Amino acid sequence: MDASTVLTVWQVNNYAKAILSEDMLLSDITVTGELSGIKRHSSGHMYFTLKDDRCSISAAMFKWQRQTLRFVPEDGMQVVVRGKVTLYEQTGQYQIVVSSMQPSGIGELYAALERLKAKLESEGLFDPARKRPLPEFPQRIGVVTSPTGAAVRDIINVLGRRYPLAEVVLCPVQVQGDEAPAQIAAAVNRLSSGRLCDVMIVGRGGGSIEDLWAFNDEGVARAVAASSVPVISAVGHETDFTICDFAADLRAPTPSAAAELAVPDMYALQERIDYLGEQLRAKMEARLDRDELRLNIISARPCFTSPTYGIEQQAQRVDMALSRIEGAFARQLAEQEKRLSVCAGQMAALNPFAVLSRGYCVAYQDEKPVSHAASLSSGDEISLQFSDGRANCRVI
């Protein structure tokens, strides 16, 4: 073997890498396949395998390319990647360095969305019983969104117009791209765990399904559902729905609408207070008028206008009562006298001595009245009672 042809491992790998990089086809290639084994490194790079039903190839997507993603890659998703085939010298493994990635079809994204939705729904994360009411007068409004987008401007403008008393606590995050879900979930957890706000708005402006995909992330949904403060989801426009919408306590069609739901309208409250104040004032004046009228009526009574009126009234009542008593006594006495006279007449009529005074007498035998002459015999001794005395006799 010629020593001049002996190469080191590095030389071989470096030579192979140069050949790959000079190939016109492999230096700018588009490949479709299924994502598998996704690993997100702390550096921000993402490593994964792209496979079909026959074979697989390693792939890498560096941080600066990941930030351009408009959706969150997941294992099992069919994608189309563009990049170049190169060789990693340290391992001698060739791979695709991906510069761009997109789902192979919208249907794949919707399928992944429905799978996640069904999973979380089965766990009860979307249960209406878990939804909490919004505070009526919040002091601090947490906002999780991009610091440079139209959404944050709309939210701040609406809050400032409707309820300037509230403080806005902004947690700036990326709202699209591969890093967006982790940032959104972390911001929600930070506002919730620190009780930094009374109600929270999580959202962004509208966009395609890929633009909104960060809000379909499982981690975001779980963070929103676990929040200790009520969450309003405001992702996209009226026709856009995300997993975050279902997990939140309330869904708003737009960020501006979310701000309107989060706080009361201070000017409407002032008008309401003024109206209630007028109603209260009118009722108090009406009550005072009624009480004044009653007082005037009562104070006009004779007992208040004449100090001796009460005594005179009572004396008159006593005189009337005495007259009634005397009349009743006289009537009762006359009635009793009349009854006594009748009874006396009846007694006089029934008195047996009154009959004797008219010439009659009563015969007694052995002190018993004799009612029949046949009961007497010759020689019987009897006594005759006259009106003025008795006389003893003998029957002949």
Higher pLDDT, 28 or 104: 28
Q: What is the pLDDT of residue 2?
A: 57
How many domains in the chain? 5
Res 237: pLDDT: 63
| Confidence (pLDDT) at 283 | 92
| Least confident among 49-63, 141-155, 222-236, 376-390 | 376-390
Are 60 and 117 in the same domain? Answer: no
Asked if 115 and 238 sit in the same domain, the reply is yes
* Same-domain pairing of 89 and 190: no
11-15, 99-103, 242-246, 301-305: least confidently modelled range: 301-305
Residues 130 and 197 in one domain: yes
Render pLDDT for 196-211 as a digit per residue (tens, 0 to 9).
Answer: 999 999 999 877 777 8
Q: How far apart are CA 307 and CA 329, in angstroms?
A: 35
- This prediction's pTM: 0.55
Together in a domain, 278 and 320: no
Q: Are residues 76 and 119 in the same domain?
A: no
Residues 31 and 80 in one domain: yes
Share of the chain above pLDDT 70, in %: 95
Judge whether residue 367 has pLDDT over 90.
no
Q: Return the pLDDT at 246.
A: 93
pLDDT given at position 188: 96
Kindly state whether residues 145 and 204 are assigned to the same domain: yes
Mean predicted confidence (pLDDT) in 75-94: 87
Question: What is the structure's pLDDT at 190?
Answer: 95
pLDDT in tens, 291-313: 888 888 887 777 677 767 777 77
Per-residue confidence (pLDDT) for residue 199, from 0 to 100: 96
The predicted-structure confidence for 313-345, as pLDDT tens digits, reads as follows: 788 888 898 989 998 999 999 999 899 988 888
Domain CATH number, residue 51: 2.40.50.140
Within this chain, do residues 69 and 167 fall inside the same structural domain, yes or no?
A: no
Residue written as token pair 């309208």: 265
Return the pLDDT at 64: 87
Which pLDDT tens digit goes with each residue over 174-191?
998 888 999 999 999 999
Q: pLDDT tens digits, residue range 227-283? A: 999 999 998 766 667 899 999 999 998 999 999 999 998 888 888 888 898 899 999
Task: Work out the number of other CB atoms within 10 angstroms of the CB of residue 53.
Answer: 6
Domain region containing 360: 354-394
Whether residue 281 is found in the same domain as residue 332: no
When pLDDT is averaged across residues 68-87 and rounded to a whole number, the result is: 86
Per the prediction, the chain carries an average pLDDT of 87
pLDDT value at position 113? 80
Whether residues 341 and 362 share a domain: the answer is no
Last residue of a domain, one of 214, 248, 264: 264
Q: Please check whether residues 364 and 334 belong to one and the same domain.
A: no
CA distance 393 to 395: 7
In tens, the pLDDT along 109-163 reads 777 788 888 999 999 999 999 999 999 999 999 999 999 988 999 999 999 999 9
